Structures are given as C-alpha cells and as structure tokens.
C-alpha cells in the first residue's frame, strides 16, 4: 500500500499528519493507497503560493513555457506504464485500454499544445488596436475519477501554457496519477508555486478553492450537481468558470444505416471504461421496425463483454471505480425493471466469478420510454437504453429531449443526410458514421453538460483574458 500523505505546495512536498482517505482497487476492493484529507489551511497555503508565483510566470517567455511542457511530455512518456497500471487499479479500465487512453492521451494532449504554441497569436492587430491575450490568473482545477490524469492534463497544460498558475484538487477516489504528475513537474524547470496539488474532500478543500478571492478561474469536470454549486459560488466573486459535466448522449441510427455496424459502434462507445464516460452513447435510437433486431444485435455484443480482471490483457470490460458507483448503477438497473422497460441483457445481479471488486453486468433495456428516468438521467455505468422512433423528426426530438448536450452520433448510408441530422442535434460533438475522435477539435457541451471548451486552441483560450491597446 502506498502512503501518499503529502501535498505539493510551492515547489515542495509537505507532509500531512492528519486524517487520511483510503484509495481502493476497483477490481478487488482492497485499500491500495492513503492520501490526505487536507483542510482549509493547506488549500490556502497552495493558493497563496500560486498567487505569489503568478506575477513572474505570467511574464515568462514562450520559450520557457515550451521547455517545461517538453520536459513534462518526456516524463509522461517515460512513466506511461506506471500511469496505465495505476489508473487501471483505481478506476477499473482494462490495462490494454488504459495504456492507450489513460496513459496515452495525456502525452498526446501535451504534444498538441507543444505543436500549437509557437504559432498561437498571443497578440494581433485589429484596426488601430493591438489585441492582447493575457493569462487569467490563479486557476483552481477540480478533476474527476473516471479519466483522472487525462482530465488533469486538459486543464493544467493549457493553463501553464497561457501563463496561469494552478492549484489542483484531484478526485480522492483516483488521485495517484496526479501525484505522478506532480513528481514529473517537480523535475522540470517549472518555477515553484506555478503548480500545486492539495488532496482532500470537496466540502473542505474544494469549497475553499472555489470561494477564495485570489482564485480568478475555476475549471471543473464532474457531475452537473457539483458544477451547479461551483457556478453559484463563482458568481459571487465574478470568477471565470469552465464546466464539463454530465451527458446522456444519443446514437441516432437512421433507417438506411448499416444496422449491425451502427449497433457495434454504439455498444463499443457505450461500454468504454465500463460506461464511466461522460460522452458515452447510452441512448440508442432506432426505427421502430428495426427495434427488435437492434436489441438482438446489442445483446449479442454485450454478451462478448464479460467482466474480468482489468489487469489481464484480454479483459474488455472492467469493474466500476467504487462501491458507491456500483450500487448507484445497480439501483438504476432495478429502476429500469420497475419502470417496465424490456430487460434484453444483463441485470442487477453480480456477474459470475466477480465476487470481489465493483463489478456490474453490462445491461441492455429495450422499448425504453424517452421521458423515463432511465432515459433522462446519467447512469455512468454499462447500461444501454434502446429507444424506438417512428420518423426522423421524432428521432431528433428524442435526441434533443434531455437536459444534457455533450455528445451524440448519427449513422446513415448517406453521408450528407447524416451530417444534416447531426447539425440538428443540440450537443457539443457528434460522431458521424463512426468518425474518429480528434484531440484538436473543441470538446464541451450544451445545456446542463457544460460551459466552455477544452482541447486545441479553444482549450487554451479558456485561460486567457482579452485586452486591447488603442494606438
């Protein structure tokens, strides 16, 4: 078991002698690490360090920032195996996927900013004005457990690149990769105080971070409920906010689509990270006459995704990240049965041979009513709702019929028709006929799914204020 009873403040590790938080292994339920249950004082120290460092780092040269990010990129590549195993144990994503995604994406994202920075226009001319893009200030970053390092990198890298200083509060459920990041940054030329890490509970350190007057921006990824609290708290101090929250994304399969390919693509997306993905395609909309066939195809695909030890290379479906999340998902499966939807595959019982850890059966419901709780609320687990529709207009209404708008998909044999339907979806991104994920494209949501965008130049612009000099 790792003892990580320390915070990283002002360029040094500060030991913590108070209460600690247990970190559990998703596949076994065993305690694998302990991290601080820090208090307000520790968070205030980190904020003060970031505030002091901002005066100098905000004036750093582009060359200085690029050098630090190059050192970070090298460290992420060097420790990729350790990162993948750490997140695999904490979150439950199978090791093969964790290697490519949980460890691979942070390095990829860092590289995209290294490629972008030399040509980014931190100043430009507009008539007789010089328009400047200045760092916003001290940034508070609050990150989730499902993609723990990836979501940290999406905030920390562009914030540092913009000239901001950072205080990070990682999820206490999956915090260890954030400690690896702090260790890597500690070995770079990053000045002390530019990056700080404080681990603890949201109601103490998180509350201090979002309400502190010296924090000028809060970048948050997590639940819509917590995002709502952050937005209200930030409003009192007119802080900048970037919120990436929940989703209930629809995969719209049009009548002319290759049904088997569309179902397979939807299922693979739905079950990524055992459904613990905010962009998961958890509502599959199919023509009413194809509903039963679609359910059969989905059930067959789900049957191949049997849960297993995430540390084994052959495992395709791992456990959920915590006992709390497992119980929540099982309650939703029971709710789906109570609401009268057709249980096509899976169910609330524990999977065979998975007595330890936080495993849930991959579950498919058919004939799901669009306005039911199962179809409206984010489950964050391996549960797919198959919803029949009668015509294209109804499909679009159903797809847009939730409070969320983070992702979606459209499938059609006619590429132009697919794009036309995709353009009518009120959501931040749409996968058209299985289009590949693009780390340079903007990522974020409509409605209750968020405010602001991450990735690419849009992710950098979130951490910049605009100033004009009238010449």
| pLDDT (tens digit per residue) in 268-324 | 999 999 999 999 999 999 999 999 999 999 999 999 998 999 999 999 999 999 999
Is the domain of 306 the same as that of 236? no
Nearest to 368 by CA among 359, 376, 380, 357: 376
Is the domain of 257 the same as that of 221? no
Q: Note the pLDDT of residue 306.
A: 87
Structural domains counted in the chain: 2
Q: Assess whether pLDDT exceeds 90 at residue 414.
A: yes
Any idea which residue has 């509060």 for tokens?
169
278 in catalytic set: yes
End-to-end CA distance of the chain: 61
Is the domain of 286 the same as that of 352? yes
pTM over 0.95: yes
Q: Note the pLDDT of residue 292.
A: 98
164 in catalytic set: no
Please list the residues that pair with 7 across neighbouring strands: 14
pLDDT tens, residue by residue, 14-35: 999 999 999 999 999 999 999 9
Residue 443 counted as domain residue: no
Is the domain of 15 the same as that of 38? yes
Is the domain of 239 the same as that of 258? no
Which candidate in 199, 278, 295, 385 is catalytic? 278
Residue 83 counted as domain residue: yes
CATH (domain of 455): 3.40.605.10
Q: Assess whether pLDDT exceeds 90 at residue 230.
A: yes
Q: Predicted confidence band at 260 (pLDDT cuts at 50, 70, 90)?
A: very high
Q: Note the pLDDT of residue 147.
A: 98
Q: How far apart are CA 329 and CA 109, in angstroms?
A: 31
Is the domain of 459 the same as that of 392? no
Is the domain of 124 the same as that of 71? yes
Q: Note the pLDDT of residue 1.
A: 83
Mean pLDDT for 245-263 is 98
Is the domain of 214 the same as that of 273? no
Q: Note the pLDDT of residue 353.
A: 87
Q: Note the pLDDT of residue 396.
A: 98
Is the domain of 240 the same as that of 254? no
Mean pLDDT of the chain: 97
Is the domain of 457 the same as that of 309? no
Q: Assess whether pLDDT exceeds 90 at residue 348.
A: yes
Q: Predicted confidence band at 355 (pLDDT cuts at 50, 70, 90)?
A: confident
Residue 301 counted as domain residue: yes
Residue 229 counted as domain residue: yes
Which candidate in 172, 244, 454, 462 is catalytic? 244
Range of the domain at 228: 2-246+448-470
Helix (H) or strand (E) holding 132: strand 129-135
Residue 217 counted as domain residue: yes
Q: Assess whether pLDDT exceeds 90 at residue 173.
A: yes
């Amino acid at each position: 078991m790792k003892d990580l009873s320390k915070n990283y403040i002002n360029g040094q590790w500060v030991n913590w002698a108070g209460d600690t938080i247990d970190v559990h292994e998703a596949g076994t339920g065993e305690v694998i690490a302990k991290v601080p249950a820090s208090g307000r004082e520790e968070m205030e120290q980190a904020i003060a360090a970031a505030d002091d460092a901002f005066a100098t780092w905000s004036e750093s040269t582009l060359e200085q920032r690029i050098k630090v990010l190059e050192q970070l990129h090298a460290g992420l590549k060097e420790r990729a195996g350790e990162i993948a195993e750490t997140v695999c144990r904490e979150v439950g994503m199978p090791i093969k996927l964790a290697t490519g995604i949980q460890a691979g994406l942070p390095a990829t994202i860092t590289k995209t900013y290294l490629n972008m920075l030399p040509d980014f226009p931190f100043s430009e001319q507009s008539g007789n004005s010089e328009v400047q893009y200045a760092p916003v200030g001290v940034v508070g970053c609050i990150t989730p457990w499902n993609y723990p390092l990836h979501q940290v990198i999406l905030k920390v890298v562009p914030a540092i690149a913009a000239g901001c200083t950072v205080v990070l509060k990682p999820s206490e459920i999956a915090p260890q990769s954030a400690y690896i990041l702090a260790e890597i940054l500690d070995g770079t030329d990053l000045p002390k105080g530019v990056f700080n890490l404080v681990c603890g509970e949201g109601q103490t350190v998180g509350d201090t971070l979002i309400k502190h007057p010296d924090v000028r921006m809060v970048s948050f990824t997590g639940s819509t409920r917590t995002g709502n609290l952050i937005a209200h708290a930030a409003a009192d101090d007119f802080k900048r906010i970037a919120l990436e929250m929940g989703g209930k994304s629809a995969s719209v399969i049009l009548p002319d689509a290759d049904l088997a390919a569309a179902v397979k693509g939807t299922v693979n997306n739905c079950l990524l990270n055992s459904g613990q993905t905010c962009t998961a395609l958890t509502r599959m909309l199919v023509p009413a006459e194809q509903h039963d066939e679609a359910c059969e195809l989905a059930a067959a695909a789900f049957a191949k995704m049997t849960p297993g030890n995430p540390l084994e290379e052959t495992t395709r479906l791992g456990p959920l990240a915590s006992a709390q999340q497992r119980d929540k998902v099982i309650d939703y499966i029971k709710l789906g049965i109570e609401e009268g939807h057709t249980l096509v595959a899976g169910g609330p019982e524990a999977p065979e041979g998975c007595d330890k850890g936080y495993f849930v059966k991959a579950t498919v419901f058919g004939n799901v009513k669009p306005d039911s709780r199962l179809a409206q609320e984010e489950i964050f687990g391996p549960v797919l709702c198959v919803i029949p529709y009668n015509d294209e207009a109804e499909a679009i209404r159903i797809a847009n019929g939730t409070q969320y708008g983070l992702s979606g998909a459209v499938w059609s044999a006619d590429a132009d028709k697919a794009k036309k339907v995709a353009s009518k979806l009120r959501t931040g991104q749409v996968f058209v006929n299985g289009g590949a994920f693009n780390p340079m494209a903007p990522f974020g949501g409509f409605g209750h799914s968020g405010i602001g965008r991450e990735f690419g130049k849009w992710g950098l612009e979130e951490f910049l204020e605009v100033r004009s000099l009238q010449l």
